[in-house]
Structure 1
Amino acid sequence: MRILVTRPEKSAVPTGERLRALGHEPIFLPLFAAEHDPEGVALARACHDAAAVLVTSAEAVRAIGTAGDLADKPVFAVGTSTGKAAREAGFKQVETANGDGAALAALLRDRFPDADKPQLLYLAGEPRSPRLEQELAAARFRMNVIVCYRMTPVDLTREILQAAFQRQPEAVLLYSAETARRFFELAESFLKEKQDIQFLCLSSAIVEAVPAGMKSRTKSAVRPDERSLFELL
């Protein structure tokens, strides 16, 4: 299949390699790019009072570069790719939760059941789902949220969009609600001519961002991870 990959460039490259290994042809159309925040990174590196570090995206790890003085603090990460990035950055203790922020919150509640919760450092991005922070606040965790990167829209001309659709994609991979909203806004005119394209979403929350007239061609992964997403192909 010809698969349109809407992830940011650095994340799209390994996704494309996995697709090729499965016999598919990736078509890259990054809609957002990561902009690292030097001030946020400096604040995170100086946060020595945290008992553990949380990361929900490999981009946060790329933003800080290396673990530095945080290397000995345990890291709780969402997904194997984020966990791998943390290890490569020099973090010595990394535990992963398969799923999303809710899965990570459940892991932390299991690891720290006592009333006296540890201080957490969340290496975050913008925009992001509020669910992890909401669930940890409800469980009375103390948390310092530091934004280390922001996703900014890529400037896409009509010519770039046209070139992508001329390759006749059969499916589109959507990894976030923000990406889905922007994709359908930019690609509306092209999609009217492509009535057979399938829209494959990492989670059911992303499906909500798909226009009503296209939901019949939309599927959601059973679990919010790329392996489950690929099972829809």
Structure 2
Amino acid sequence: MRILVTRPIDDAQTLAEQLHRLGHQAVIAPLMTVRYRPIPDLERVLDRAQRVLLTSANGARALARATDRRDLKLATVGRATAEAAKRAGFTRIDVAGGDADRLAELCANSYKPEDGPLAHIAGSVVTGRLGEQLGALGFTVERRVGYDAAAIGELPPPVAEGLAQGQLPVVMLFSPRTARLFLDEIERLGIGASFCRIDALCLSPAVAEMAAGLPWRRLLVAAEPAGDAMLALLDQAGPNSQAPNPQATPPQSAMPQG
């Protein structure tokens, strides 16, 4: 089954490899590109922090690029972010249940405000109320921007044509912002009517709410906001909801590489 992967390129390539192992063909067309940036005053913030909060894999990569320290105590929003931190060499990691609310609960149950501030390495665009929630619990949160996730703009013509002709029966959406960018692009292209033949796989109810503006055949939401749960939705997706072809071709990218 051909599946449109809309994640930034690093995450998209990892996901495409997983899909290929399951017998699917991934078509990669990121809707955002990630640009890492220097983090001002980072070492002072890290020296003060009792824990560093990471709410995305890109946050983990940004932290790893900005400091050589690997002794830091981290708390990640979920398993995927924890795995990215482990790949970057971090070992002291607490893992929350997959969203910002669960991360706030982890902090409330495991840490004390009097033990010091929490550092949050995030993107320039932040969704959710993590800082507000933690502030209400008495924590001081020092947020530092480690990357920008900029909209790419247009879908490549082969992807737009594939969607219009129903040749990409599944679209995977991992964030509300990605879903919003996707809907805006489909509206610009004027191909919304084609989505009665296409399933959306959404990481969370918030993503599904943003994606609901298209007439999807099915709008499926992962049981938990985690990559494994997204992959589990594949059993329900596709034109015939059938088992994938074990001879599927390797992942394709609709974006120019290099």
Please report the TM-score for the alignment, with normalisation by the length of structure 1.
0.88
Opposite residue 61 of structure 1, the aligned amino acid is A
Matched, 1:11 2:21: no
**Structure 1 residue 46: Cα displacement:** 3.7
Structure 2: distance between partners of 1:157 and 1:22: 25
The equivalent of 1:180 in structure 2 is 179
- The question of whether the paired residues in 2 share the 8 Å contact of 1:207 and 1:215 is answered with no
The equivalent of 1:152 in structure 2 is 150
Q: What secondary structure does 2:132 align onto?
A: helix
The equivalent of 1:63 in structure 2 is 62
Matched, 1:132 2:130: yes
Structure 1: distance between partners of 2:193 and 2:139: 48
**Structure 1 residue 168: Cα displacement:** 0.9
Q: Which moved more, 1:211-220 or 1:169-178?
A: 211-220
Could you say if the C-alpha distance between residues 33 and 49 of structure 1 is closer, same or farther in structure 2, counting changes exceeding 3 Å?
A: same
- The question of whether the paired residues in 1 share the 8 Å contact of 2:193 and 2:215 is answered with no
Matched, 1:229 2:227: no
Matched, 1:94 2:90: no
| Identity in percent | 32
Q: What secondary structure does 1:72 align onto?
A: coil
Opposite residue 231 of structure 1, the aligned amino acid is A
- The question of whether the paired residues in 1 share the 8 Å contact of 2:79 and 2:98 is answered with no
Could you say if the C-alpha distance between residues 160 and 35 of structure 1 is closer, same or farther in structure 2, counting changes exceeding 3 Å?
A: farther
Opposite residue 141 of structure 2, the aligned amino acid is M
Could you say if the C-alpha distance between residues 187 and 115 of structure 1 is closer, same or farther in structure 2, counting changes exceeding 3 Å?
A: closer
Matched, 1:120 2:118: yes
Q: What secondary structure does 1:15 align onto?
A: helix
Could you say if the C-alpha distance between residues 95 and 209 of structure 1 is closer, same or farther in structure 2, counting changes exceeding 3 Å?
A: same
Structure 1: distance between partners of 2:29 and 2:192: 15
Deviations 1:104-148 (A, max 9, x none): 111111112x56353111001132222222221111111100011
Structure 2: distance between partners of 1:52 and 1:71: 13
Matches within 5 A, 1:201-212: 201-212=202-213
Opposite residue 231 of structure 2, the aligned amino acid is F
Structure 1: distance between partners of 2:155 and 2:83: 35
Q: Which moved more, 1:29-38 or 1:64-73?
A: 64-73
Opposite residue 197 of structure 1, the aligned amino acid is I
Q: What secondary structure does 2:35 align onto?
A: strand
Could you say if the C-alpha distance between residues 190 and 18 of structure 1 is closer, same or farther in structure 2, counting changes exceeding 3 Å?
A: same
Opposite residue 105 of structure 1, the aligned amino acid is A
Structure 2: distance between partners of 1:26 and 1:213: 22
Q: Which moved more, 1:11-20 or 1:185-194?
A: 185-194
Structure 1: segments with no counterpart, 5+ residues: none
Structure 2: segments with no counterpart, 5+ residues: 235-258
Q: Which moved more, 1:193-202 or 1:1-10?
A: 193-202
Structure 2: distance between partners of 1:213 and 1:33: 24
Pairing partner for 1:142 from 140, 161, 164: 140
Matched, 1:79 2:89: no
Q: Which moved more, 1:154-163 or 1:19-28?
A: 154-163
**Structure 1 residue 212: Cα displacement:** 4.1
- The question of whether the paired residues in 1 share the 8 Å contact of 2:80 and 2:227 is answered with no
Could you say if the C-alpha distance between residues 92 and 228 of structure 1 is closer, same or farther in structure 2, counting changes exceeding 3 Å?
A: closer
Q: What is the aligned-residue RMSD (CA, Å)? A: 2.2
Deviations 1:154-187 (A, max 9, x none): 1426625435536811111111111111111112
- The question of whether the paired residues in 1 share the 8 Å contact of 2:153 and 2:185 is answered with no
Equivalenced residue count is: 230
- The question of whether the paired residues in 1 share the 8 Å contact of 2:36 and 2:146 is answered with yes
Could you say if the C-alpha distance between residues 201 and 97 of structure 1 is closer, same or farther in structure 2, counting changes exceeding 3 Å?
A: same
Opposite residue 28 of structure 2, the aligned amino acid is F
Q: Which moved more, 1:117-126 or 1:63-72?
A: 63-72
Structure 2: distance between partners of 1:66 and 1:90: 11
